[in-house]
Amino acid sequence: MKYYKIIIAAFIFFSVSACDEDILLETPLDFLSPENSFTKPEDIEATLFSQYRRLLRFNDGNWQNTAYLHVGTDLGMACRNPADSHFGNYPANLLPTTGIVSSYWSQLYDIVFTSNVVLNRIENVVYSSQAEKDAHIAEALFFRGYAYRCLVHLYGGVPLVLEEITSPRRDFVRSTKEETLNQAILDLKFAAENLPSVAEVDAPGRVSNAAALHTLSELYITIKEWDLAIDAATSVIDDPNIALMTTRFGNRAGDEGDPYWDLFQRFNQNRSSGNTEGILVLQSEFDVPGGSAVANNTEGFLYERCYGPLYWFVNDPDGVKIFFGASTQNGGRPVGFIRPTPYFTHTIWEKGGNWDVDVRNNNRNIQRYWVTDNPSSAYFGIKTSDYPQSWFDGLSAQDTLRDFHPYITKVTTKNDHPTAAMSNPSTGLMASNSGKTHADWYLMRVAETYLLRAEAYLGKGGQEDKAAADINMLRNRANAIPVDPADVDIDYILDERMRELNWEEQRRMTLSRLDKLYDRTVLGNPFSGNTVQPHNNLFPIPFSEIERNTQEVLEQNPNYN
- CA–chain centroid gap for 15, Å, is 59
Beta partners for 477? none
Is the residue at 80 inside a domain?
no
pLDDT recorded at residue 317: 85
| Structural domain includes residue 432 | yes
Which residues partner with 367 through β-bridges?
407
| CB 186 within 8 Å of CB 213 | no
Percent of the chain predicted with pLDDT > 70: 92
Instruction: Using pLDDT thresholds of 50, 70 and 90, give the confidence band for residue 396.
Output: confident
The reported pLDDT for the residue numbered 26 is 55
For 452-506, how does the pLDDT look when each residue is reduced to its tens digit (9 = 90+)? Answer: 999 999 999 999 999 999 999 999 999 999 999 999 999 999 999 999 999 999 9
Q: Which residue has the higher pLDDT, 63 or 9?
A: 63
Indicate if the pLDDT at residue 22 is higher than 80. no
423, part of any domain: yes
| Sign of CA pseudo-dihedral 380, 384, 389, 393 | positive
pLDDT of residue 133 exceeding 60, the answer is yes
Residue 314 lies in a domain: yes
In a domain, 198, yes or no: no
Can you tell me the distance from the alpha carbon of 132 to that of 195, in angstroms, rounded to the nearest whole number? 10
Mean pLDDT for the stretch of residues 71-86: 96
Distance of CA 367 to the CA centre of its chain: 23
Indicate if the pLDDT at residue 548 is higher than 70. Answer: yes
In this prediction, residue 387 carries a pLDDT of 86
Alpha helix ranges (H) inside 20-129: 41-58, 90-93, 99-121
> Does the pLDDT value for residue 100 go beyond 70?
yes
**φ/ψ (deg, to 5) at 290:** 85, -5
Could you tell me if residue 472 is inside a domain? Answer: no
Mean pLDDT of the chain: 92
Tell me the HSE value of 81 on the side-chain side, using a 13 A CA sphere. 6
466 located within any domain? no
Can you tell me the mean pLDDT for 245-272? Answer: 97
| Pairing assessment for the beta strands 76-78 and 441-445 based on DSSP bridges | unpaired
The model's confidence at residue 292, banded by pLDDT at 50, 70 and 90, is low
- DSSP secondary structure of 508-548: HHHHHHTT-HHHHHHHH-TTGGGT--GGGGSPPPPHHHHHH
Q: CA-to-CA distance for 174 and 157, rounded, in angstroms? A: 6
Q: CA of 524: how far to CAs of 72, 206, 341, 491, 520, in Å? A: 10, 36, 7, 12, 6
Asked whether residue 205 is domain-assigned, the answer is: no
> Residue 32 — very low, low, confident or very high, per pLDDT cuts 50/70/90?
low
**How many independent structural domains does the chain possess?**
1
Domain extent at residue 341: 303-442
Region for residue 366 given its phi and psi (left: phi exceeds 0; alpha: psi -120 to 50; beta: otherwise)? beta
